[in-house]
Amino acid sequence: MADPSEHLLALKVMRLTRPTLISPQIITAEAKDLPQNTFEHILKSSATTVQDSETLAAGQFMQLPQSFGNIYLGETFSSYVCVHNCRTHPVNNVSVKADLQSNNTRINLPIHADKQGPVVLHPDETLDDVIHHEVKEIGTHILVCEVSYMTPAGLESSFRKFFKFQVVKPLDVKTKFYNAETDEVYLEAQIQNITVGPICLEKVELESSEQYTVVSLNNLPSGESVFSQRTMLQPMNSCQFLYCIKPLPAILNDPMALKAANNIGKLDIVWRSNLGERGRLQTSQLQRSPIEYGDLRLTVIEANSTVKIGEGFDFKCRVTNTSERSMDLVMNLNTNAKVGCGYTGQTEISLGPLEPGKYKEFNLTVCPVRLGLITITNLQLTDVFMKRKYEFDDFVQVFVVDEDYKEDDFQLDKYVRYSIPQSV
């Protein structure tokens, strides 16, 4: 392949990008100081200073890119490709091909899609197009442009040009998972701006997997966002987003399926730079921490948050066999286990056989004997086959009020936590 300067056509490639904002750097010194007038000469020759007012910062200036530069992951790479016939005779069978090569892939970029095939370039004519590609991989990228044509002698000829640029991370995303005892998962996502300029977060959403549903906790009860209308992040600043992920009912009722459903979803982030350059970043599949169950799991599925003193407190429980063997269970609730117990009532129920992965539900009633918050505890499940006992402490709470309590005047439902599943 001959030197491109010897070819009949000229290839020019220019990356299309927005300008950057720069501020003048004002540095002065007195005439008697060692630098003397050196700083003044530098200021006068700078493009960011105003004539005869070199020591005054006139604000920010827009600077056009001086090189091919870097690009941030998730942004769209745009480039202008132009082929020009600088000869005095036509050139036949002209075609252009553009490939974007990274460390792991090589992608052919569509160019001149409106052309049916090779074209003829007459003297001083050009063949140009703009190519776009959303970069999805970090590291070194090389834009390879190849021009093919036919010489007047009927020989096929071609040449290439290479343009190298780096794709770097714009955001640092850190996630933390909190497994709640109610089978809900809370995700805290911290997003940090690691670019050189401010960005505006347009959208931060969690796209759940097929096993879960997502509730965003970043809005007030009125529907207004907890953040300002536009979430601006200065360089190296960060903000946190919180989400509640709930399993689907079919997954929730199957302990084995719930234990295997570790894929939560993906974070979808859209941002813009200070001059409107759009970027989009999607994380890989996020995974929750593994769920570890014992042989049995006890869950309170129905219970009131308040009860009047002297009235019975009814609640409904569910026991799930999370082991790999069958059990024959007997349930016992003993109120004599602790001194100063705030309720009375003693119950013993035979639940019968329980296969692995199955559950049974049963109702219990206790009678509170003092006001305030009381905790129901010391429930025992005995496996008759293995002669083994499983104890569950502090598995449900209720607020005991006086007889003249009026619900309209005193609301505690949103403050009292009454369903706390346990595993042993």
Q: φ, ψ for residue 290 (rounded to 5)?
A: -60, 140
Looking at the chain, the whole-number percentage of residues with pLDDT higher than 90 is 14
Stretch 218-246: mean pLDDT: 83
Residue (of 89, 80, 79) closest to 149 by Cα position? 89
Which residues lie across from 66 on neighbouring strands? none
Higher-confidence residue: 249 or 336? 249
Question: One-letter amino acid identity for 330?
Answer: V
pLDDT at 60 > cutoff 80: no
Rounded percentage of the chain residues whose pLDDT exceeds 70: 82
| Separation between Cα atoms, residue 407 and residue 95, nearest integer Å | 80
Average pLDDT over residues 81-105: 89
346: pLDDT strictly greater than 80: no
The pLDDT value given to residue 52: 64
Please determine, for residue 398, whether its predicted confidence score (pLDDT) is greater than 70.
Answer: yes
- What pLDDT score does 359 carry? 86
Alpha-carbon span 400 to 305, nearest angstrom? 9
Q: What mean pLDDT is predicted for residues 328-350?
A: 78
Q: Could you tell me where the beta strands, DSSP code E, fall in 237-393?
A: 238-247, 263-273, 278-282, 286-287, 296-303, 306-308, 313-321, 327-333, 343-344, 347-354, 359-368, 372-376, 379-383, 388-392
Token reading at 217: 């906790």
Q: What average pLDDT does range 140-169 have in this prediction?
A: 90
Mean pLDDT over 124-145 rounds to: 90
Which pLDDT value is given to residue 54? 60
Distances (CA, A) of 54 to 1, 28, 66, 137, 312: 52, 10, 24, 44, 85
Residue 165: DSSP 8-state: E
Angstrom distance (rounded) from CA 48 to CA 174: 39
Q: Average of pLDDT values for 121-135?
A: 89
Mean pLDDT over residues 343-356, rounded?
A: 85
Confirm whether pTM is higher than 0.95: no
Checking if the pLDDT of 417 tops 60, the result is no
Residue 295 has pLDDT above 90, yes or no: no
DSSP one-letter code for 5: G
Say if CB 121 and CB 94 are below 8 A apart: yes
C-alpha span between 42 and 26 (Å, rounded): 10
pLDDT of residue 48: 67
Higher pLDDT, 187 or 7: 187
- Region of poorest pLDDT, from 16-30, 168-182, 380-394: 16-30
Residue-averaged pLDDT of the chain = 82
Q: Indicate if the pLDDT at residue 323 is higher than 90.
A: no
Alpha helix (H) residue ranges in 34-119: 38-45
pLDDT band at residue 189 under the 50/70/90 scheme:
very high
Q: pLDDT band for position 415 (50/70/90)?
A: very low
Mean pLDDT along residues 135-161: 90
Q: Where are the alpha helices (DSSP H) in 128-205?
A: none
Under 8 Å CB-to-CB from 245, ≥6 apart: which residues? 184, 185, 186, 187, 206, 208, 212, 213, 214, 215, 264, 265, 288
- Give the whole-angstrom CA distance, residue 48 versus residue 57: 9
Q: Residue 277: what pLDDT?
A: 83
What is the pLDDT averaged over residues 292-311? 84
Q: Please say if the pLDDT value at position 92 is more than 70.
A: yes
Q: How far is CA 339 from CA 309, 342, 343, in A?
A: 19, 9, 11
- Phi/psi at 6 (5° precision): -90, 0
> Which pLDDT band, with edges at 50, 70 and 90, does 141 fall under?
very high
Confidence band (pLDDT; 50, 70, 90) for 242?
A: very high
Supply the pLDDT for residue 47. 64
How many CB atoms within 10 Å of residue 422? 18
Residue scoring higher pLDDT (412 or 18): 18
Of 133 and 49, the structure prediction assigns the larger pLDDT to 133
Please identify which residue in the block is written with the tokens 């959403």. 205
The larger pLDDT score, comparing residue 334 to residue 354, is at 354
Cβ 269 vs Cβ 203: under 8 Å: yes
326, 353 Cβ separation under 8 angstroms: yes
Question: What is the dihedral sign for C-alpha 59, 62, 65, 69?
Answer: positive
Residue 411 has pLDDT above 80, yes or no: no
Highest mean pLDDT among 18-32, 75-89, 247-261: 75-89
CA 232 to centroid of chain Cα atoms? 17
pLDDT tops 70 at residue 85: yes
Least confident segment among 112-121, 318-327, 389-398: 112-121
Ramachandran assignment for 183, one of left (phi > 0), alpha (psi -120 to 50 degrees), beta (any other): left
Q: Is 375 helix (H, G, I), strand (E, B) or coil?
A: strand
Pairing label, strands 61-63, 379-383: unpaired
Residues sharing a CB contact under 8 Å with residue 147, sequence separation 6 or more, in sequence order: 7, 9, 11, 83, 94, 95, 96, 158, 159, 160
